[in-house]
């Protein structure tokens, strides 16, 4: 484990209630297993880029930010934190079981990461609830991008994949470029 940045290995997360999601799903006609799949264009929020994608009424928002205090450009070490919010906009309870990330640096080098849950948890989200966590990603180049998916499980034991939007890891004030 990285003792200077222990959250890179463990992160942190919390569940929040949000009844807006239940109403949104019903209004959109997606029901319990709505097939909505939408990716929004990156948007600027509080000085950071924010990326959003919805799959089967599960909304995933990612906000990456560069961490200059943990980076050492002279040693080719660039570190980003990213905060993910997963909101259940459907009508049934789901649980996040697995994650898969594909991380690509500016040289095209790819790293695959698979594992159980996120930040040591497998959050269970009732309709309208959200789970937010923060984790981190070190790269050897000043830019890159990440994309992934979560495996979610319904109460009846069936599983489905939820896309995590591709997001850019860029130095501050750089326009995000997605390859």
Is residue 50 a part of any domain in this protein? yes
Is residue 174 a part of any domain in this protein? no
Give the structural domain span for 137.
Answer: 7-169
Contact 82, 134 (CB under 8 A): yes
How high does pLDDT run on average in the chain? 82
Whether pLDDT at 75 is above 90:
yes
Is residue 165 a part of any domain in this protein? yes
Is residue 179 a part of any domain in this protein? no
Is residue 109 a part of any domain in this protein? yes
Q: What is the pLDDT of residues 120-138, one digit of tens each?
A: 999 999 999 999 999 999 9
Could you give phi then psi for residue 147, rounded to 5 degrees? -150, 155
Mean pLDDT of 155-159: 97
Is residue 79 a part of any domain in this protein? yes
How many independent structural domains does the chain possess? 1
Higher-pLDDT residue of 116, 14: 116
Query: Among 61-75, 78-92, 97-111, 161-175, which is the least confidently predicted range?
Result: 161-175
Q: Residues of the chain with pLDDT > 70: what percent?
A: 69
- What CATH number corresponds to the domain at position 82? 2.60.40.1470
> Residue 138: beta bridge partners?
79
Mean pLDDT of 32-49: 57
Give the β-pairing of 159-169 and 37-45: unpaired
Is residue 45 a part of any domain in this protein? yes
Is residue 175 a part of any domain in this protein? no
């Amino acid at each position: 484990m990285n003792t200077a940045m222990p959250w890179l290995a463990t992160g942190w997360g919390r569940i929040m209630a949000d009844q807006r999601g239940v109403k949104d799903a019903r209004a959109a006609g997606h029901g319990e297993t709505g097939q909505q799949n939408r990716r929004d264009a990156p948007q600027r929020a509080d000085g950071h880029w924010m990326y959003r994608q919805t799959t089967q009424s599960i909304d995933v928002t990612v906000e990456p930010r560069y961490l200059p205090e943990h980076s050492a450009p002279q040693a080719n070490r660039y570190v980003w934190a990213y905060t993910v919010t997963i909101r259940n906009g459907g009508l049934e309870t789901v649980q996040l079981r697995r994650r898969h990330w594909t991380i690509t640096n500016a040289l095209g080098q790819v790293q695959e990461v698979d594992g159980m849950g996120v930040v040591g948890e497998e959050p269970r989200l009732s309709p309208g609830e959200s789970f937010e966590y923060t984790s981190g990603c070190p790269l050897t180049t000043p830019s890159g991008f990440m994309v992934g998916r979560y495996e979610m499980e319904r109460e009846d034991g069936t599983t489905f994949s939820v896309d995590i939007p591709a997001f850019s890891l860029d130095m501050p004030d750089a326009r995000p470029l997605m390859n």
